[in-house]
Amino acid sequence: LALLQSHCLLYVFSGMCVPIVVGSLPPALPWYVPCPVRCVCQIKPWFSPDSVYHEAPTVDCNNLLLTKLPLPIPLNTHTLRLQSNLLSVLDTAVLHGLPNLTDLDLSQNRFSRVRMITQSSSLPSLLSIHLEENHLSHLPEASFSSLPALQELFLSHNNLHSIAPGAFNGLDSLRRLHINNNRLTTIDPQWFRALPQLEVLMLGGNPVEALPERGFVALTSLRSLVLGGMGLRSLAEKALEGLEELESLSFYDNHLTKVPRQALKRVPGLKFLDLNKNRIKLIETGDFKDMLNLKELGLNNMEELVSIDKASLDNLPELTKLEITNNPRLSYVHPQAFVRLSRLESLMLNSNSLSALHQNIMLSLPSLQEVSLHSNPLRCDCLFHWAARDTSHPRIERDTQMKAQVARVVRFIQPEATLCSAPPELRARRVREVSSGEMSASCLPTIPTSSLPSYVGVQEGGKLVLHCRALAEPYPELYWVTPSGLRLGPSAFFKHYQLQPEGTLEISRISPREAGLYTCVAENALGADTHSVTVGVHNRGKNRKRGVMTKPKLELNEVGEHYAILSWQSRQNLPSTRLSWQAMQTSSHTPTYTTRILAGTQSFNLTHLQAETFYRVCLHLGVSEDGKRDNLGSEGSKKPRCVSFRTKDVPEPQPGLQLNPELTSIAVTLLLLAYILLLAV
């Protein structure tokens, strides 16, 4: 028979073992020996912990409701399967008479103490024992010392709440240990001192909220560590110290709020990293930097993730697959989020809230072969020119290097489901079927509503963090306006206010007087977009009530023939404000003009006015573009503030010097004579 291999994939992101089979397994063969009643004796394929194929004499007594070992068990038995029975004690003397016993499956039985299995007799040939889904609650010292050759120990899905420091003493050859899905609340570094050869450790599913520093330092041979579903909220800097050989690491389904970047620096050989289903809100600049061996990264199923920031993935020369999918609030990937990812081939971004993927991202990935963007609310505008069917873009064509990269074909995964959601004329069109000529050449800023909630509550003295992101072409400037009307730009610094470069507003030691409406504004040369969030500050169990809105006075600062400069002072954030003006003429058909005033703006230059004309200008507070009034908590906000003025007269031209015809003729003659004399000289 040809050599076949089957083993568990150690680096799968879910933390589950997936059998990988090369070729097809041969069928089981009959084994002609006296076999226990109701059991099945056959020669079956079996793979050692080293993935070496064997033809193993197997006794299969699964699912027989046995309360004791069946007899007789053939002397040459290699694999004994007793899964899903009612065994609570084991006659180890019977097992001791099986010198070739290598694999013992006792899972899904009723064992409550490990000594009932391993007491007295030694099983020197046993390599693998399955004890999953029993009733074990404690492992005493040297629990498995009678199994000196053991390489695989499966203890998952028991009721283990305590393990003695030396419980694994004597297991010098152990390579795989599964103690996941038990009731352990702490990790004792002493457990691992007796396991110098351990390569795979499954700890997930235990209610452990913190890992000790240097807790795994004894596991110098460990290659795969699964810590999924433990309730971890953060990771100490030295939590992973000593794991020099670690290649695969899973934090699936924990409560991490930030990427544990300092801890990850301690595992330089890491190749596969799973951070799926955590509470991370931002992938920040430098979170994944200089991880020189990382091949695959999973950032899926994060309910709170809103942004992948600039240079968050930097210098990952071996990364070939990046998965960022099924994140319902993820609406922003910075145009320079991915830096020096020279080997990235597969980029999975489907099932998020992305409206666009900037062309600079595509240009920064020279080896990209496939991208997944389906199930996103995609805007087919200037930011999507790279995806158009003719892939032509004037800005790109002016750069030879960029043009060469765009010419490379990138395959869309599920192109039939990759659809435009905006603008209206392209809605439901397949992205790959839209030509660049149908896409606009520039893009107004858009702030995704999924990035900001409508209301946020915070305790007095706590820290408030609000994330605002926007994409546009040209790239937009972001700033915030506080409830007091204060404008916070990128270069501004105010006491405990801090605006991060990407648009995140941080307020430390917040007080009740800072409650109210906060507005994010994204603006470029083409226009602007705003999004507001109401902040409540809890003080002694109560929210601060909104104060009565002051009445800003509209003032005329300067007026000319065709312009007027107006201003108003307000100590409150007015996100939905508009300015209207009308010429005061006798005609009943005089039009009224209206413009939107961005939050934080307190002056306006009104241009293109007619000279010598009376105008009436009004400032309307708390009125949105659709005409609905915003709930700003004041009757005074409903009445506009108005001012009237008259533009200046156009000055008449100054009268020029008047010469009679005779004087004009004399002057011309004198000038002609002077010219002739100059020529003669």
Assigned domain for 247 exists: no
Assigned domain for 49 exists: yes
Tokens of 160: 């283990």
pLDDT of 395: 38
- Low-confidence stretches of the chain (pLDDT beneath 50): 1-22, 392-407, 544-548, 623-636
Are 45 and 136 found together in one domain? Answer: yes
pLDDT of 334: 95
Are 37 and 117 found together in one domain? Answer: yes
Are 339 and 435 found together in one domain? Answer: yes
Are 428 and 453 found together in one domain? Answer: no
384: left (phi over 0), alpha (psi -120 to 50) or beta: alpha
Strands 307-308, 282-283: parallel, antiparallel or unpaired by DSSP?
parallel
pLDDT of 667: 67
Are 394 and 528 found together in one domain? Answer: no
pLDDT of 424: 92
Tokens of 562: 């065709």
Give the DSSP H or E segment for 680.
helix 661-680
Q: Which residues contact 680 (CB under 8 A, 6 or more apart)?
A: none
Whether omega for the bond prior to residue 575 falls within 30 degrees of 0, making it cis, is no
Are 320 and 433 found together in one domain? Answer: yes
Are 513 and 626 found together in one domain? Answer: no
pLDDT of 584: 85
Give the DSSP H or E segment for 524.
strand 516-524
Nearest to 506 by CA among 329, 284, 275, 288: 284
Are 429 and 464 found together in one domain? Answer: no
Are 383 and 482 found together in one domain? Answer: no
Assigned domain for 319 exists: yes
pLDDT of 258: 97
Assigned domain for 39 exists: yes
Whether omega for the bond prior to residue 165 falls within 30 degrees of 0, making it cis, is no
CA distances in angstroms from 179 to 17, 131, 160, listed in the order given? 14, 10, 8
Contact 192, 198 (CB under 8 A): yes
Burial class (CB in 10 A: 0-12, 13-18, 19+), 667: exposed
Q: How many domains does the chain have?
A: 4
Residue 504 CA, distance from chain mean position = 15
302: left (phi over 0), alpha (psi -120 to 50) or beta: beta
Query: Which CATH number goes with the domain that contains 366?
Result: 3.80.10.10
Residue 385 CA, distance from chain mean position = 24
Q: Which of 426, 441, 456 is the last residue of a domain?
A: 441
Q: Which of 183, 218, 246 is the last residue of a domain?
A: 183
Range of the structural domain that residue 495 is part of: 444-543
Contact 339, 312 (CB under 8 A): no
Query: Which CATH number goes with the domain that contains 575?
Result: 2.60.40.10
Cα–Cα dist 472/443, whole Å: 5
Cα–Cα dist 577/585, whole Å: 26
pLDDT in tens, 370-383: 999 999 999 999 88
Contact 319, 296 (CB under 8 A): yes
Find the radius of gyration of the CA atoms of the chain. 37
Assigned domain for 480 exists: yes
Strands 321-323, 603-606: parallel, antiparallel or unpaired by DSSP?
unpaired
Half-sphere exposure of 363 (CA within 13 A, CB side): 21
Are 491 and 539 found together in one domain? Answer: yes
Are 44 and 131 found together in one domain? Answer: yes
Tokens of 97: 């008479």
Helix, strand, or coil (residue 191): helix
pLDDT of 398: 37
Assigned domain for 527 exists: yes
Are 484 and 588 found together in one domain? Answer: no
635 DSSP 8-state letter? G
DSSP track, 399-447: SHHHHHHHHS--EESSGGG-BEEESGGGTT-BGGGS-GGGS-SSEEEE-
pLDDT of 91: 84
pLDDT of 652: 72
Q: Which of 183, 213, 246 is the last residue of a domain?
A: 183
Assigned domain for 363 exists: yes
Cα–Cα dist 168/299, whole Å: 35
Residue 226 CA, distance from chain mean position = 21
DSSP track, 244-274: TT--EEE-TT---SS--HHHHTT-TT--EEE
CA distances in angstroms from 102 to 81, 299, 307, listed in the order given? 11, 39, 51
